[in-house]
Amino acid sequence: MHFSLAELLTDLFQNAVAAGSSRIDVRWHERDTRLRVSVEDNGKGMTANEQLRAVSPFYSDGVKHPGRKVGLGIPFLIQTVSSVGGSYELRSEPGRGTKVSFEVPANHLDLPPAGDLITTFSLALTCEGPGEVEIERVRNGDQYTIRRTELAEIFDDLATVEALQLITNYVRSQEEELWQK
């Protein structure tokens, strides 16, 4: 089980990277008492049969984690969402990509905490692999959007400790601004 929603998001993001995506869009939208999160990529996608297996905890393709016989990321997501009366959607098409989204009541007693979104977003923006990562964060109508390509124009190398620190500080400032409104 994941201890936070940020951990669930990280798992979905890692799946998108592992699918060979050149673009990954992450949406985290809070409005009043609802939370909607999605990760959409243009990776290899899945067939209908692969989608059925992806929601089963007793299946792993063995590629992301060689030797592992189970894959728990999406099943944990489904369990978490179901336990609080939320909903999830998995849409995928071979050669076109995948979108996983979920919506939950943000104030449900059993919903895990959001977790460390600042670090989660910062690592997603600086990870190796996709050419574009777009983070869209909305809270009660206020929002910010950060794109990896725009950060890459500022930093020669997103993989440096300095870049990660500065990007983390930038994400933190955007989060603080959202919460002050």
102: enclosing H helix or E strand: strand 97-105
Q: What domain count does the chain have? A: 1
- What CATH number is given to the structural domain containing 17? 3.30.565
Mean pLDDT across the chain: 91
Does residue 111 contact residue 37 with C-beta atoms inside 8 Å? no
What are the tens digits of pLDDT across the range 48-74?
A: 999 988 887 765 555 554 444 444 679
Q: At residue 162, what are phi and psi to the nearest 5 degrees?
A: -60, -45
Share of the chain above pLDDT 70, in %: 91
What are the tens digits of pLDDT across the range 11-57?
A: 999 999 999 999 999 999 999 999 999 999 999 999 999 998 888 77
- CA dihedral sign of residues 159, 160, 166, 172: positive
Name the token pair of 104: 């939950």
Q: Which domain holds residue 53?
A: 5-180
Euclidean distance between CA atoms 62 and 107, whole angstroms = 37
